[in-house]
Amino acid sequence: MKDVFGLIISGTEDQELRDLTMMRSIAAVPIAGRYRVIDFYLSNLVNSGIHNVGVITYRNYHSLMDHISGGVEWDLSRKRDGLFILPPMSQHTNHNGFYSGTAEAINGVKSYISRCAQNTCLLHTNCRTIFNTNYSQAYEYHKSSGADITMMYGIPGNKTEPPSKGEAMISVDESGAVTDVFPGRTYKKSDYISMDTYFINKDLLLRLVDDCVMRGGTDFIRDIIIPSLGKLNVKGFYYTEPSYKIDTLERYFKASLAFLDTGIRNSLIDGSGPVYTKVKDEVPARYSKSSRVANSLVSDGCYIEGSIENSLLFRGVQVARGAVIKNCIIMQESQIQANAVLENVILDKKCTILRGRRMVGTENHPMIVAKGSTI
């Protein structure tokens, strides 16, 4: 992996997850009780021995910057290589500093790409899959198959609903060559979903992006991958380990609750190496005499006097006496006051549920409460 650098596009227009991405990019969405989505991406790269990582920021990236800052927690604070935060370059963008597509985003960071000492780019065009892997097998495949581009694809564990709008499905022939890439919502030809993860030679990437932008293209899949099928050697690498998509609210909810399964949790949090995240020096979670807890993940800094079941509590959540929480995701520093009842609810950060309030969503349509709200 010495010859590979990582490039992460930390978000695009995530209309279907807008409740959680209104104030942050998808890469900064909290997940699994103490992480942010990008922790999985950064940890996968670092655990694979990749130590040069560029993160292309997109719209509302304060929360992402705040989280990864210098990259110390992922051991990416290096003298040589390390973590590079790549904010939008205005001369390459048309929409007030926002990229209109993934190819345009890459075009904006060409100088970083050409400066990289490594020759192969491991490109993530989105941050909407939770998985824990070591890329060495996929990279071996990329090298030995002589592919120009290798796309990773898989069948996510929570793929029960129809594919979402922005999702790319792919067809692969028996030689492993990618024969078609098509939007998930239009028609169903295969079960395979792109993991938005590609191996591609650096110079080829720069050339393809130049071509694409010159012709007015903006999107990596639509304007680079699809036109290349049949012309370039595009291979698919089938990822068989568990992975979870979080590109819609329902999927986010299901992926989160999947972490309550010990087998899934172990493979996602420690499968190919630990998932690193920002350290907050919280006090261990504290349970009082009246607390009850069953089948739940609870983080440090929580103070629990009420009852929780099938839920994930992020760092610093307070649950007062008599409160009942069932099938919920409660993000950082939220407060649930006495005798409040929550079922199938996602509380974003720093929410307050006042005494005795009752909120009930359904399994398929969890209720969501925006950051900082008081109910």
Partner 1 sequence: MKIENLERPVCVFPLTSNIRKKETVAMLLAGGQGSRLGALTAKMAKPAVPFGGKYRIIDFALSNCSNSGIDTLGVLTQYQPLELNSYIATGQPWDLDRINGGVYVLPPYMSAKAGEWYKGTANAIFQNINFIEQFEPEYVVILSGDHIYKMDYSLMVDFHKERGADLTIAVQTVPWEEAGRFGLMVTDDNDRIIDFEEKPENPRSNQASMGVYVFKWEILRSFLIADDADPDSSKDFGKNIIPAILAAGKSIYAYDFDGYWKDVGTVESLWEANMDLLSESSDLNLYDADWHIYSRNPVMPPHYAAAGADVSDSMITEGCIVEGKVENSILFAGVVISQGAQVKNSVIMPNTIIGNDSHVNYSIIAENAIIGCDVVFEGGSPSCISVIGPEAVIPDSAVIKEGARLSAEDAENLFGEV
Chain residues in the site for partner 1 (CB under 8 A)? 32-34, 72, 259-260, 262, 265, 269-270, 274-277, 279, 281, 283-300, 312-314
d(CA 241, CA 165): 24
Nearest distance from C-beta of residue 35 to partner 1, angstroms: 8
Nearest distance from C-beta of residue 262 to partner 1, angstroms: 7
Query: Could you tell me the two tokens for 242?
Result: 């568990």
Nearest distance from C-beta of residue 369 to partner 1, angstroms: 21
d(CA 157, CA 107): 33
d(CA 279, CA 67): 10
d(CA 239, CA 223): 24
Residue with smaller CB distance to partner 1, 5 or 259: 259
Can you tell me which residue has the tokens 């993530």?
A: 124
Residue with smaller CB distance to partner 1, 197 or 307: 307
Residue with smaller CB distance to partner 1, 219 or 343: 343
d(CA 221, CA 168): 8
d(CA 286, CA 263): 26
Nearest distance from C-beta of residue 18 to partner 1, angstroms: 26
Which residues are CB-neighbours of 370 under 8 A, at least 6 positions away? 19, 22, 348, 351
Residue with smaller CB distance to partner 1, 225 or 275: 275
Residue with smaller CB distance to partner 1, 75 or 241: 75
DSSP helix/strand/coil, 125:
coil
Strands of 50-119, DSSP E: 52-56, 82-86
d(CA 193, CA 200): 19
Nearest distance from C-beta of residue 162 to partner 1, angstroms: 31
Residue with smaller CB distance to partner 1, 150 or 267: 267
Nearest distance from C-beta of residue 255 to partner 1, angstroms: 15
